[in-house]
Chain A
Amino acid sequence: MVALANKPLFDGPEWNFDLIGRTYEAIEEIGVGEMGLNLYKNQIEVITAEQMLDAYSSIGMPQMYRHWSFGKRFARDEMMYRKGARSLAFEIVINSDPCINYIMEENSMTMQCLVMAHAAMGHNHFFKNNYLFKQWTQADAILEYLAFAKRFVAECEERFGLGPVEAVLDAAHALMNQGVSRTAGARRRFDPKREREREQARRDYEIEIYNELWRTLPNAPPKEEEERTEESRAEQRALLLPEENLLYFLEKNAPKLEGWKRELIRIVRVLAQYFYPQRQTKVMNEGCATFCHYEIMQRLYEKGQVTEGSMLEFAHMHAAVVYQPGFNERHYSGINPYALGYAMMRDIKRICLEPSDEDMHWFPDIAGNQDPLGTLREAWANYRDESFVLQFLSPKVMRDFRLFHIKNDAESPTMRVEAIHDEQGYRNVRRMLARQYDVSTQDPDIQVTDADLAGSRRLVLTHFVRDGILLDKEECDRTLMHVARLWGYRVRLVEQDAGTGRKIREHETLPLP
């Protein structure tokens, strides 16, 4: 091969901008040219460790509005970092167009190379092509929206004081996980540019029509239960209840929120929605990036563009990234998404190229199709963690990970091993693992089910309890306080069994005066 005669791009740990530029080109040649990745334009930004800590505390975004919780996160991260308990990430990549990659100045050249292959190729491709990101996020608008959010929050702080702004943001943050719309609908498509204008208009209108007098009207006496039901049913229809997106509901319907407070809620909601795809695709996103960096590094080595020394350094890092401790080992903290994603994608490649009989049986449509990258690109584009695991987790990976499924019933004195990595257990293990990655079943299912706008103005939330798992009482009460603060009146949360509809527990709270 002629390629073997290539001179290595770099030798030794030192890096400079020119070297990074040339290395990036070599990486892109492989990523785009050979692997067929489809990328946003990359922007690589070199930052220091301190700036990396800064970026951490603002959820990795280049700019963020100010809030004490970010300061808290920063204080904790800084502490961990200084103690040496935790090292920093080598990179942060932002789902934006152009795709911003932060790399740290402390990294060696091999690390920079690895990081570019990982983030600028893998994550970038995933952001641009995965259906969830396409559907829910607008990469070209997010930076602009963040700038708007930051400015808006700062303006509010100036006009209304730190305290009131903080109170609204606290409350909205508490509901962030309930602030996403899970079912796609055209009406909820995140388009900050258009929505912002609409928002502004609505805000102005509300400010115009707001009349202090309405607040002084005495409350009507509560109506009889029967009489109300008919009316409330009509009301429910008008409010489009039930509504799973609590932040959306509060933003649109909370009776006495000022316009700027609605806008603040909206900012938090938009961010929650923006990050929601990332929560659903941890395994795939990291798997894709890890798979890409591995393939690219191998190819660079084959072409003689990186030295053996670099490959050893790379192999060491890579092994650490995809390490999966067993459940009873000290370092165990759940299934490592890098490890699982990478293993599954390597396995898809193997199934496409050298399928075993078992694979022919399990994956008849892709086994031996000799197009691993096409198959992977297809998977990256059209799946999320839950469906990806359900579709592609092969018996071999289950055996390699030695996955097993246990059931823990609070009523029973012991836990039961339901299935292990054997012929009888594969399907069960795979189904349960997929469920474990389904964010919508991991988050409690809480919906707005009733809101009495005419009478007592009580808001009713319902937690549809699955498998008898109730909410953490203390956390729930605190969070309800936040809901009440936004709603402005009494809030009740009913926990009822999703199957039988039986009421299990009730929480109720009033807003503090």
Chain B
Amino acid sequence: MNIVDRRLNPKSKSLGNRQRFVRRAKADIREAVKDALKKRKVTEVEGSEKISIRSKSVREPSFNHGRDGGVRDYVLPGNQDYKAGDQIPKPQGGGGGGRGGKASADGSGEDDFVFTLSKDEFLDLFFEDLKLPNLVKNRLKDLKNPLPQRAGFTSDGPPAKLARIRTLRRSLARRIALKRPKTEEVTALEEEIARHESEVPRNEALIAELKARLEKLQRMRKTIAYVDPIDLQYNRTERVPRPTTQAVMFCMMDASASMTENLKDLAKRFFMLLHVFLSRHYKEVHVVFIRHTSTAAEVDEDTFFRGVETGGTVISTALEEMDRIVKERYSPADWNIYAAQASDGDNIPDDMGHCIDLVENALLPASQYFAYIEVSEHSGPGETIVWHGYSEIARRHKHFAMRQVTNPGEIFPVFHDLFSSPAGA
């Protein structure tokens, strides 16, 4: 007998199977994920999700007996008062086999398959195929992940990084410059001496001279090293920071009195989704939250999503605030600038001209993409003041987009529409 402790063996052996399963059921899961979004509270966008899929793709069919028809025999335990020959009324609703156990235990019941997606799996599916459009400007800032890169040669370093060719090239140059005798020269001289020594009348004087020359050569070879420490060259590497694409997203939300709780909730859902999407996919994205009534202010995330404040509506205040922050902190030359604005389409009539002017002349030229979301209680593109005013801009500029949202179910499609890979570009 053998006892083995397997507890430390790697867990999740079936991870590969799970991935295959999720891949298989992807289309169905995505449907379910969208449904799930409708039911979620604003604060719960991030988190694991219990998914119920009604899936054809994960069915495993086999040849089974049907559940009705035919003559079937059952042997059951626990008889109480039946006698042979008794007639029992069939159970209601079932085809008759229901009670027998066997027949009903197999078969379907797979139609609704419930399981839990992890947070990562959920979000991956959620944001699949989405990205920020026109993300182009790169600049060396916010440096992350420096990578080693070759950076010339150095005279010092670990033996493993010795640059042999370069070292020998330098050695050769030095040897030539200092006239270090070559091996062939020495051998030739030695042979000459040997030849003269073997001649019968030995020319002693010549031999002595040759020997002196040989000695000199050998001395030179000794003093001038083949490879000298000054020849040594090593490969040098530098940790070079990788340029990352940097972007900033401005989230502007109308918090005025005309926005009902419902509308605020819709807008917040949209921004929540945007926020999760950005923080998940782009590590270097800055998010600026601007909330406005008749005045606008940059607020932190928490206040933006949870704060309560009401007042009148002057949309241009938010746009001015954005313009100010752009000028102050995010130079358009270095940053990819995005803006998402949500409102119920209500504004002071004489503010509209200013808004259009701001968007068209100050913000759009600086931005990569500007999305306007109009939340409203009624469907159909309402002829609100803002919608009307912005339609003009949308006609003239490709990177300005506007959509209307009337219920939570539309948020994901609209979001998807605005940020799906090829569309926004």
Contacts and interface: CB of A to CB of B under 8 A. Distances in A.
Interface string A161-172: 010001000100
B41 interface: no
Nearest to A406: B74
Contact of A472 (B19, B65, B88): B65
B408 interface: no
A421 B3 CA distance: 47
A435 B73 contact: yes
A326 B77 contact: yes
Interface residues of B, number: 67
Contacts of A20: 3
Contact of B87 (A162, A176, A415): A415
B159 interface: no
B148 interface: no
Contacts of B116: 75, 78-79, 82
A463 B20 CA distance: 33
Given A166-B20, A407-B71, A469 B61 contact: no
Contacts of A472: 64-67, 107
Interface string B38-63: 00000000000000000000111111
Given A24-B1, A54-B11, A424-B84, A174 B101 contact: no
A51 B17 contact: no
B178 to A, nearest CB: 59
A105 interface: yes
A105 to B, nearest CB: 6
B114 interface: yes
Interface string B93-130: 00111011110010100000111100000000000000
Contacts of A467: 70-72
Contact of B14 (A45, A58, A405, A415): A58
A479 interface: yes
Given A402-B79, A421-B79, A327 B69 contact: no
B63 A105 contact: no
Contacts of B17: 57-58, 66-68, 70-71, 74
A307 B6 CA distance: 29
Contacts of A50: 11-12
Nearest to B8: A48
A403 interface: yes
A162 B17 CA distance: 12
Contacts of B14: 53-54, 57-58, 70-71, 74
A75 B17 CA distance: 10
B102 A175 contact: no
Given A41-B1, A333-B101, A68 B75 contact: no
A325 B25 CA distance: 38
User: Chain A interface mostly helix, strand, loop or mixed?
Assistant: mixed
B423 to A, nearest CB: 28
B350 interface: no
A178 interface: yes
A210 interface: no
B101 to A, nearest CB: 4
Interface residues of A, number: 101
Contacts of B203: none
B84 A69 contact: no
Interface stretch (A214-222, A227-235, A425-433): A425-433
A68 B65 contact: no
A366 B372 CA distance: 89
A475 B62 contact: yes
B182 interface: no
A475 B64 contact: yes
A459 to B, nearest CB: 15
A368 interface: no
B260 to A, nearest CB: 38
Contacts of B185: none
A300 to B, nearest CB: 17
B22 interface: yes
Given A404-B79, A429-B75, A410 B63 contact: no
Interface string A458-478: 000001010111111101101
A71 B84 contact: no
A177 B1 CA distance: 35
Nearest to A467: B71
Nearest to A177: B62
Contacts of A482: 61
Contacts of A443: 63
Contacts of A102: 6
Contact of A51 (B9, B61, B82, B88): B9
A473 B66 contact: yes
Interface in A53-98: 53-54, 57-58, 66-72, 74-76, 78-79, 82, 98
Contacts of B68: 410
B202 interface: no
B74 A405 contact: yes
A20 B2 CA distance: 10
A382 interface: no
Contacts of A43: 1-4
A413 B89 CA distance: 7
Interface in A412-441: 413-422, 424-425, 429, 432-433, 435-436
10 contacts: A20-B3, A41-B2, A68-B17, A71-B18, A325-B78, A332-B78, A404-B76, A410-B70, A416-B86, A417-B86
3 closest A-B pairs (Cβ-Cβ)? A326-B78, A71-B21, A469-B70
Interface of A: 17, 20-21, 24-25, 28, 41-48, 50-51, 53-54, 57-58, 66-72, 74-76, 78-79, 82, 98, 102, 105, 120, 162, 166, 170, 173-178, 324-329, 332-335, 401-410, 413-422, 424-425, 429, 432-433, 435-436, 442-444, 446, 463, 465, 467-473, 475-476, 478-479, 482
Given A47-B6, A432-B75, A479-B63, 14 more contacts: A44-B4, A47-B7, A67-B20, A70-B21, A71-B19, A166-B24, A173-B60, A325-B77, A326-B77, A410-B69, A463-B63, A468-B71, A470-B69, A473-B66
